Amino acid sequence: MKQNELYPNHASLLLALVRGSKRFFIASILFAWCTTLLDLINPRIISYTVDSVIGDAAPDLPFYIRPILDFLGGTKTFRAHIGYIGLIIIAVAVLALLSRYVFRMMNARGQEVLLKSTRDLLYQHILSLPFSWFNQNHTGDIIQRCTSDVDMIRAFLSEQLTALVRMAVQILLSLLFMISISPKMTLFVALFIPVIVASSYFFHTRIEKSFRKVDETEGELSAVAQENLTGVRVVRAFGRETYERERFEKKNEEYTGLWDYLMRLLSAFWATGDAISGLQMLMVLMTGAHFCLNGEISIGNFIAFLSYSAMLMGPVRQLGRVISGMSRAGVSIDRIRYILNSASEQEIPGAEEADLAGDIVFDHVTFRYGQEEDAPILDDVSFTLREGKVTGILGSTGSGKSTLMYLLCRLYDLPEGGGRITIGGRDLKTVTRRSVREQIGFVLQEPFLFSKTLGENIAITNKDASEEEIRDATRTAALDETVMHFTKGYETFVGERGVTLSGGQKQRTAIAQTILRNTPITILDDSLSAVDAETDSRIRRELNRRETNSTRILISHRITTLMQADHIIVLDKGRVVEEGSHDELYALGGLYRRICDMQSPEGALRSAHV
């Protein structure tokens, strides 16, 4: 157990989850007890009827029942009007029915409140987790934890835990009623309970381990399915359907095998419990018949004792099923605890909201994603991005271009001794993440679009944007002609992840989103890679017209995208190797020039003014 865990054990998490629904569960437990008590009354009434009303034995009733019997007129009255007993049995049954109804209603209400509060808590916490956490956990597994595991916790609290409390009361009351009839037979019945409990404990650890493996494998299976459904176009484009189907079937076969083993284990568990319970009932019949013949108990009491014995063995037999459910719930609780105990993004003391104005300075920045011994992605990087200027960043894949922007947006934080990033002389760590991200527009190379209309996706960054502002942003992003060609225009449904749009259309939609935010800092991370050179030029021209006071950062592999920038930074293997304007860098004859010559062998990129 870690000291900083918010939920150090199962109990702490369950108490937090039932905070809004505990009144419903408490009410359901109380009415479950009431139902159990009412169910235990009728066997006593039947015993009294057989022995004292039909027979002539003196009433053998608990002390708290005798005043009620006297008030109703005593045994003579019931002998004269035996139908009254039927009415009493019906009345008790109706009360039990009403009590059971309220129990079910309160339990169902508690379940729904629990599900809602748990989902809200999980979703809120997941949104607060750092960017790195999502890189370490599969989306399919996260979804499985938030659905199947949440439902398992619901079942545990509303069914297993409630049943456990109800069964405890039923066992206790049944034993008390049985002791009042025959202590000897009760002792004989009670001897079977430890045997069932020991059997349940024997299977418990094995079932829990098996459930844990099943849940983990289900998460892996969900991850495989989610990845393939999300990347279905890639799978089909490369003809990988057979490979991915076999991969899924292999994982599915493993999952099925684990469930098969678990079901055999549970079958043995339940069969063992049923066999012990059946043996116990057989011994009760034999012993009770012997005691009846010897006159130690009456026939009515024997009938009542059999009823109580069945009521006792019912919950004892269910105990095994409850324990198996608790085993799986324990696994689900651990999996939910993993999410809720994952550390949220934390601000340093004193961090506050602030306007991001001034030059952006990367001061001896060193950063690595893995362990300390791993090679750094950025190695002692230092440069300045001038306020209101356009800076281009060029580098090969893996040179750290995107990592620079992730650090600037505080999707990752610099470690101690990893340098610092300042804006206007202010350390970025002293500004809240919310404030930083609200003032930086970040367009990714592979933008994510939601299953909404095109207009809703564009306006998602500014809910208060007017129709004219949306159209202006669309025009600047060179998306206006595309919108005009759609039959429904802005009402065109783009599908999941924008599947109905081309790569260039999705990139331009993302650019329009960012334009609509009108942030003081704008980052285009290779976000013009899927558009043609003419559209690229048009977008940059429109951005220059709109954002004269905005600090703009262009990351690209295309020299034509960067050559008009005020300043260009060239990265190689996590280091800044060249800086300057296009003409200055070309004149150096270094890496930048080699890239220019590769992209334009005819030398058309020698001057930014060409």
In terms of domains, do 55 and 164 share one? Answer: yes
Residue 135 CB neighbour total at 10 angstroms: 8
In terms of domains, do 202 and 175 share one? Answer: yes
Residues of the domain holding 601: 357-439+520-528+535-610
Flag whether pLDDT at 531 surpasses 80: no
In terms of domains, do 565 and 508 share one? Answer: no
- 286: amino acid identity, one letter: M
Return d(Cα 148, Cα 115) in angstroms, integer. Answer: 11
Q: Specify whether the CB–CB gap between 391 and 568 falls below 8 A.
A: yes
Handedness of CA 73, 78, 80, 81 (dihedral sign): positive
In terms of domains, do 284 and 157 share one? Answer: yes
pLDDT at 98: 94
Helix, strand counts (H, E) of the chain? 24, 10
Q: Specify whether the CB–CB gap between 56 and 299 falls below 8 A.
A: no
Flag whether pLDDT at 1 surpasses 50: no
Q: What's the rounded mean pLDDT across residues 257-286?
A: 81
- pLDDT tens-place string over residues 148-166: 888 888 888 887 777 777 7
* Most confident segment among 312-321, 455-464, 573-582: 573-582
Q: What percent of the chain has pLDDT over 70?
A: 91
Beta strands in 125-275 (DSSP E): none
Flag whether pLDDT at 341 surpasses 70: yes
- Name the domain boundary from 312, 340, 368: 340
- pLDDT tens-place string over residues 541-594: 887 777 567 899 999 888 888 888 899 999 998 999 999 999 999 889 889 988
Handedness of CA 178, 179, 185, 189 (dihedral sign): positive
Return d(Cα 88, Cα 92) in angstroms, integer. Answer: 6
Return d(Cα 14, Cα 43) in angstroms, integer. Answer: 38
* Most confident segment among 161-170, 187-196, 428-437: 428-437
In terms of domains, do 412 and 298 share one? Answer: no
Flag whether pLDDT at 364 surpasses 90: yes
In terms of domains, do 82 and 191 share one? Answer: yes
Residue 604 lies in a domain: yes
In terms of domains, do 494 and 404 share one? Answer: no
Return d(Cα 228, Cα 251) in angstroms, integer. Answer: 13
In terms of domains, do 595 and 481 share one? Answer: no
Return d(Cα 11, Cα 564) in angstroms, integer. Answer: 62
CATH number for the domain spanning 79: value is: 1.20.1560.10
- pLDDT tens-place string over residues 75-90: 777 777 778 778 888 8
pLDDT at 384: 93
- pLDDT tens-place string over residues 32-51: 888 888 887 777 777 777 77
In terms of domains, do 362 and 332 share one? Answer: no
In terms of domains, do 467 and 561 share one? Answer: no
Closest CA to 519 of 461, 456, 438, 410: 438
Q: In what order do the strands lie in the sheet with 390-395?
A: 440-443, 521-525, 551-555, 390-395, 567-572, 575-580
Question: Which residues are CB-neighbours of 294 under 8 A, at least 6 positions away?
Answer: none
**Could you give the 3-state DSSP secondary structure of residue 236?**
helix
pLDDT at 61: 65
CATH number for the domain spanning 469: value is: 3.40.50.300
How many structural domains comprise the chain? 3
In terms of domains, do 481 and 594 share one? Answer: no
Q: pTM value?
A: 0.70
